[in-house]
Amino acid sequence: MAIIIDGAKLAQEIRTEIKAEVEELIKSNRRAPGLAVIQVGDDPASTIYVRNKFKACAEVGMESFGFTLEDSVSEQEVLRLISDLNTDSRIDGILCQLPLPTQIDQNKIIFAIAPDKDVDGFHPYNVGLLLMGNPEALVACTPLGCMEMLKAYGIPTRGKRAVVIGRSNIVGRPMAALLLSADCTVTTTHSHTPAEDLPGICREADILVAATGKAGLITPDFINSDQVILDVGISRTADGKIVGDVDFATVEPLVKAITPVPGGVGPMTIAMLLKNTLTSYRRRMAD
Ligand code: NDP
């Protein structure tokens, strides 16, 4: 039986620590850290994600500022809002919930957010720092949460082989960069990795990160008994169940450690958003 990496519990512990720090700040008459969240349109999934972010902020005593814009809003209007938020002294973190409607160039929005308030870690400045192995980078929350889980469970990275399945800007690429900085030998795979090669590449991994959104992709053929698996994928089955990229029932008994879905990487992502907001706040207050 594998060690189950309990992301929900770890995320709660991190939130409790953040809450204690925010309480101290408020006791000493400082302002609370502030997070601005921009949502364009009313996509139901985005609405749930945004609501969860507000809830998480409230729980730890951070201020959140919500901006819900019409689906038809112009790119210029969103850019104007971001420019205002960039100079708003109450705000330490700005994020714009993706995806955006087609009239808005996602890259322009990402580039417009001040790098020191870029708590999603998507701005090229922060991505550049991350690739340079510079600890000043604000790092994308999901891969950052994965690294926290490895640390918390004492899973060594130095000299280990890591395989990341997926190369998105949100998960796969920053994940590979973090593992590289943590001294892993990293292989990144993607949809053009020949399907017949993928199981063999993955079997070599000490740490396997699956981030494709392809339910049940990872079967016993992909694993070895010393492997640690971080399952980032989220898919909904026909009967409404949330599942990861790993076929959990068959894989879990055969590996060393694994994150469940739900209750693994997901809760860590929001905890890291709070952590990045607090980091940004601390830097701003130190200036
Ligand atoms: P994307 O769709 O942007 O990226 C998926 C990646 O997987 C792509 O790089 C794609 O390759 C690759 N891929 C797809 N199919 C295969 C395959 N059969 N073999 C190898 N590689 C494959 O998704 P995201 O990175 O944004 O998210 C990935 C998953 O993680 C999703 O399920 C998402 O819901 C979930 N997620 C979970 C979060 C959490 O908090 N737990 C946060 C963010 C995402 P290519 O580049 O060639 O297309």
Ligand 1 binding pocket includes 168 (Cβ within 6 Å): yes
| Sign of the Cα pseudo-torsion (171, 172, 177, 180, in order) | positive
Q: Supply the pLDDT for residue 217.
A: 98
- Residue 214 bears catalytic tag: no
- Tell me how crowded residue 190 is: count the other CB atoms within 10 A of its CB: 13
Q: Looking at ligand 1, which residue's alpha carbon is closest to its atom 12?
A: 166
Task: With beta carbons less than 8 A apart as the criterion, state whether 77 and 103 touch.
Answer: no
C-alpha distances in angstroms, 19 versus 61, 91, 149, 274, 280?
6, 18, 20, 10, 16
> How far apart are alpha carbons 178 and 182 in whole angstroms?
6
Phi, psi torsion values for 206, nearest 5 degrees: -80, -35
Centre of ligand 1 from the C-alpha of residue 265, in Å? 14
Considering the entire predicted model, what is its pTM? 0.98
Q: Which of 120, 206, 231, 245 is catalytic?
A: 120
Q: Supply the pLDDT for residue 146.
A: 99
Query: Identity (one letter) of the amino acid at 267?
Result: P
For the CA of 245, the nearest atom of ligand 1: 32
- Residue 97 bears catalytic tag: yes
Q: 3-class SS at 189?
A: strand
Centre of ligand 1 from the C-alpha of residue 283, in Å? 32
Q: Which CATH number fits domain 141-265: 3.40.630.30, 3.30.365.10, 3.40.50.720, 3.20.20.140?
A: 3.40.50.720
Q: Supply the pLDDT for residue 287.
A: 76
Domain 30-114 listed as CATH 3.40.50.10860: yes
Spans of all domains in the chain? 30-114, 141-265
Q: Looking at ligand 1, which residue's alpha carbon is closest to its atom 16?
A: 191
Number of H helices, E strands in the chain: 10, 11
What secondary structure does DSSP assign to 249-287, as a single string? HHHGGGSSEE--SSSSHHHHHHHHHHHHHHHHHHHHHH-
The best mutation among 144, 164, 171, 208 to test binding of ligand 1, ranked by most ligand atoms within 8 Å of the C-beta, falls on 171
Q: Supply the pLDDT for residue 25.
A: 96
Ligand 1 binding pocket includes 166 (Cβ within 6 Å): yes
**Averaged pLDDT in 10-residue chunks for the chain of 287 residues:** 97 98 96 98 94 97 98 98 98 97 97 98 98 98 98 98 98 98 99 98 99 98 98 96 97 98 98 98 92
Residue ranges with strand state E in the chain = 3-4, 34-40, 63-69, 93-96, 161-165, 185-189, 207-210, 228-231, 235-236, 242-243, 257-258
